[in-house]
Structure 1
Amino acid sequence: MTIAYDVTGDGAAVLLLHSTACDRRMWDPQVPVLADAGHLVVRCDLPGFGDTPMPVRPYDEPRDVLDLLDLLAVEEAAVVGSSGGGRIALEVAARWPDRVAALALLCTAMAGHEPGAELRAYGDREDALLAAGDVAGATELNVKTWLGPYADDAARAKLRLMQRHAFDVQLAAADEPPALEVDADLTRITARSLLVSGAHDFADFREIAAHLAGFLPRARHVELDWAGHLPSLERPDVVNGLLLDFLGAVSAR
């Protein structure tokens, strides 16, 4: 499937994969900083988000991402993934380890994780609001849920815009074809990894980060005491510094 994307800068490639509450606009605070630091910055909209329509046949998001790298003749990229984008980043790194130079995962999801009671309750509430036709209420639930206490009004407005657009795109589709399930062995990942979690996020995502840091090669886990689920929107300057330090250390090695 062809997915929407944009490219900024020149140099070592960095691919940005958005949260599934957002689209590629979530990376607006990161793109110029990474490009100014000498990176070719690629960001895309996953199927059903931003400018990428819903797929019409069973789809494979990690393969879509790899196809984008092939289209751009990018042999190797550092991959930065947020939440659901982190899940896809993990699968890309596991299925094609030679294509991923480094892996930075912000409050990442992970295939096979069984959600805890609080995360299930959130999902049930969202489903109930959408079933009742209250898309605005479901949007506000996501804004309240995913941003931490230090997010400003601009971050909340941006998330509201992206989440509402995603609902509009997805709910307008007649049927949603299934995502193809491909077994991705995460022990095949060879890239140096940075795991970031937020103290104000669901416990699930902190547990996933700690679990991954326990077996991914050369992994570092950083918990941000101020952060919710979307730290790159909440305090972009701090996250930009973390990413630049991590990518710089990878390049030095």
Structure 2
Amino acid sequence: MNVTGRFAGTKAVVTGGTHGMGLAIVEALLDGGAEVLLTGRNEKTLEEARTALKGRPAHVVRSDAAAMADIAALAGTVQERLSRVDHLFVNHGIAEFAELAEVTEAVWDRHFTVNTKGSFFTVQALAPLLSDGGSIVFTTVVNDVVFPGLSAYSASKEAVRAFAHVLAAELLPRRIRVNSVAPGFIKTPTMGVAGLSEEERRAFERQGNETTPLRRNGTVEEVAAAALFLAADATFTTNVELAVDGGFAQGLPVPH
């Protein structure tokens, strides 16, 4: 089959790619002609992704970023199915509300195991398969504005931002660019936070509309466009975190 498009002939891996922002990245890559391997750990969203992407060059793989054995197995699966990776999107993550008195060791460890440890060792496992001149894009978060109740989540994502800087330097000899996309309020089925009731999700969305200078929540497609720009178009850009937040963390006034 003769595939055309801006990503024709390229191969990509998207962790946390079965729903929300990750799935939007996957769909944009496929629309551009890429072959994509995407991961998730929830059986429901895995099956939904398989159904939605049926007939397209997409490999839906169950892999838990909290499990080192799964990360090691993922490297073998990627090598078997893709042989190489041109663009790696490290998008998986969890977020749970818990204020100071409510944060347990288990809550703290869960965030750092999935968001931080899982991201770092995913890159370590897949780095040998990355093409020289390829790219890595992490999904972090707009951390310049404080969200009460998200200390563990914010800290774990800030750690990703920190080691992304180091990896950008370490991978320079291979011309692999390392960047991050930092979403603000983005409209997804969960609003990015696990365990919220429908009422809480609506309230969170309203908060985004009211506090974002552009006066709305972003879309998953807008995050995907920014991530793909960093991965493929920004060929002279590395070690950058690009905010996709409607001006939320940029010090702009909110129009009334």
Q: Structure 2-normalised TM-score?
A: 0.45
**Please, what TM-score do these two structures have when normalized by structure 1?**
0.46
Indicate the structure whose relative CO is greater, using CA pairs within 8 Å and at least 6 residues apart: 1
